Structure 1
């Protein structure tokens, strides 16, 4: 049986092994999670477990992503690397030394292309105010990136893309979901809360995708490799943020499925999703992630979740065979 289910736990409690199942125990009773088809566990609240439980799920190949009470990402436990490759790690390191800038530019170009595709939908539906930004994304950004640049300059262009993207929200989102500026730790308004939560979910999904390749999680190209984080997951998630995170946000806000007064914690200035808001967001996020499309080269339907893993394989071909790295494009569907 394919291990393809993600299970979310929102309550405080304890995780234990019970025979050959996972038991979640809290004041409401015992709840059992089948281990056979579970791929990931998301603990969205304070959950306790012991090393015996970790050994059990490690042997079952299950990843656990941990969040604290406020919804902030704490870390990930996954089984020891089964696909580790010393040879590929050496080549990945050499690629960072010799061709970091080329790959970093490819990632930033992909961000611009996918944001353009997302916003063009609104432009076609009478939001003509978006035209200057769309033209800038389509023409100026590729021209800038075609020049000889330092990594700091590439990161500056990336920052400009996102900042102008956030500014564009005023043309098609209700006023209570606008952001004055991007604030991450902690978020200071409902839109910042949604972006932080969505980006973190996507980051953890990308960690799981990379785990199932031979890539080294710590050697990245756009983001600087740093201790204490899986920086390659930050790289590979970038092209998918407009497609998965922001399309989810725009849909939920546009259809009023998420509302500031109902789905955000008013005691924290509406800057964090409450439990009901998290559940609504996660359901829509998972639905978007599992949405399938016809892949033009594979000639079969694949999900966006699988497309993240395919980008990992593309990067391996770049590292091993010297092929151009072109992250996923929403327009081309590959």
Structure 2
């Protein structure tokens, strides 16, 4: 049995109690078992002390902090136990001399996975998607086959996401159609769902990379910057259509998430309420834990494990020059 992800949605305090984690709030005490906990998501104001953080660190537990708007604020994780100076050097060399190749592979992976997600709606009658699907399948590979610098690659990525958002009007209810992507803070229900889902996925990717030898700060599509784990942004991109957006589309189209029931609206922002967050978290966790037959490994793995496997593919590229192809929904590997 694998370790679990724990979500804390109410205000309270995390502390160590003997050899367990105690979460205390106005409703009383709740004990969290250490042995089967991999990470904790703090989705509200949570206080904790260094004694607790030391205990969590020795247990290998990663703690993710989210702000009031549901956006990822930061992570506390134990000191890296899979440190490899050799890989870090190779990863940096790959960034310096082969960055564009990996960036292209990620953008092509985004296009291919969006195609697979949207083709479901096309074959069920949404013929308005035909032109966009053709563009993804035929034009994008041709564009990326050219000699491009990172700015042009990022421009193509931006165009893919912009056209993807515009396609929502063909298969989502009018209440969830996006006018434009607004992040901090989100200004309407669909932006609120995307921001919350992306933050959860980004955090989960940080945990998966932590369990590899990769350096979290050396990325290839996104610019490496201080104070953020930009490699997590890279590896999460191809999975977002498969995990985050499929969860959103299913919840919205099956009316499990509704505008009048599951959002808090104020003058300049729109957020999921606690009820909406619980529904969304349950959906995305089910998708993380969904298993499929990996065509090369010949065994069943979860989408969560597939994130870490993409990290291993990147290691193979940096160390051995083996071609890097991120996760493909069509090929299931």
Same fold, TM-score > 0.5, yes or no: yes
For 1:114, the equivalent position in structure 2 comes to: 113
User: What are the equivalent positions in structure 2 for 1:235-314 lying under 5 Å apart?
Assistant: 235-267=234-266, 271-314=270-313
C-alpha distance in structure 2 between counterparts of 1:266 and 1:157, whole Å: 33
Question: 1:82-112 CA deviation, whole Å, 9 max, x = no partner?
Answer: 0011110000000000100000000000000
Hey, what does 1:202 align to over in structure 2? 201
**Corresponding position of 2:61:** 62
Partner residue, 1:29: 28
Q: For residues 148 and 249 of structure 1, what CA distance do their matches in structure 2 show?
A: 36
Residue 38 of structure 1, CA deviation:
0.5
After superposition, give the CA deviation of every residue in 1:252-283 in whole Å (9 maximum; x if it has no partner). 00100000110000345671100110110000
1:90 aligns with 2:89: yes
| Residue-by-residue CA offset, 1:299-319 (whole Å, 9 max, x unaligned) | 110000000000000000000
Greater mean alpha carbon deviation, residues 315-324 or residues 2-11: 2-11
In 1, Cα distance between the equivalents of 2:134 and 2:67?
41
CA contact (8 A) 2:185 2:269 kept: no
State how many pairs are aligned.
333
Partner of 2:73: helix, strand, or coil?
Answer: strand
Q: How does 1:28-47 map to 2 (within 5 A)?
A: 28-47=27-46
| Conserved? CA contact 2:221–2:234, under 8 Å | yes
**TM-score, length-scaled by structure 2:** 0.99
Q: Secondary structure at the match of 2:75?
A: strand
Partner of 1:160: 159
Q: Distance in 1 between matches of 2:208 and 2:132?
A: 32
Moved more, 25-34 or 108-117: 25-34
Deviation string, structure 1 residues 12-61 (Cα, Å, up to 9, x no partner):
00001001100001111111001110001011000000111000000000
Q: Does 1:190 align with 2:189?
A: yes
Pair 1:64–1:52, CA change in 2 (3 A) = same
Q: CA RMSD in A?
A: 0.9
Cα distance in 2, alignment partners of residues 27 and 248 from structure 1: 32
CA apart distance, 1:69: 2.8
Where does residue 213 of structure 2 map in the other structure?
214
How big is the shift at 1:70? Answer: 2.7
CA contact (8 A) 2:317 2:324 kept: yes
**C-alpha distance in structure 2 between counterparts of 1:150 and 1:305, whole Å:** 31
Distance in 1 of aligned mates of 2:244 and 2:267: 23
What SS does the aligned partner of 2:250 have? helix
Which residue pairs with 1:144 in the alignment? 143
Distance 1:70 1:331 in 2: 34
CA distance in 2, matches of 1:236, 1:98: 19
Please state whether the residue corresponding to 2:186 is helix, strand or coil.
coil
In structure 2, runs of 5+ residues without a counterpart are: none
Aligned-partner SS, 1:306: helix
8 Å Cα contact 1:93-1:219 kept in structure 2: yes
1:123 aligned onto 2:139: no
Bigger CA drift: 22-31 or 101-110? Answer: 22-31
Partners of 1:234 and 1:87 in 2: CA distance: 23
TM-score by length of 1: 0.98
* Separation in 1, partners of 2:214, 2:26: 42
Range 51-60 or range 266-275, more displaced: 266-275
Q: CA deviation at 1:68?
A: 2.1
SS in structure 2 opposite 1:207?
A: helix
Residues 166-225 of structure 1, C-alpha deviations (whole Å, 9 max, x = no match) = 010110000000110011111111001111111111100100000000000000000000
Contact 1:145 1:154 in 2 (8 A): yes
C-alpha separation in 2, matches of 1:193 and 1:10: 17
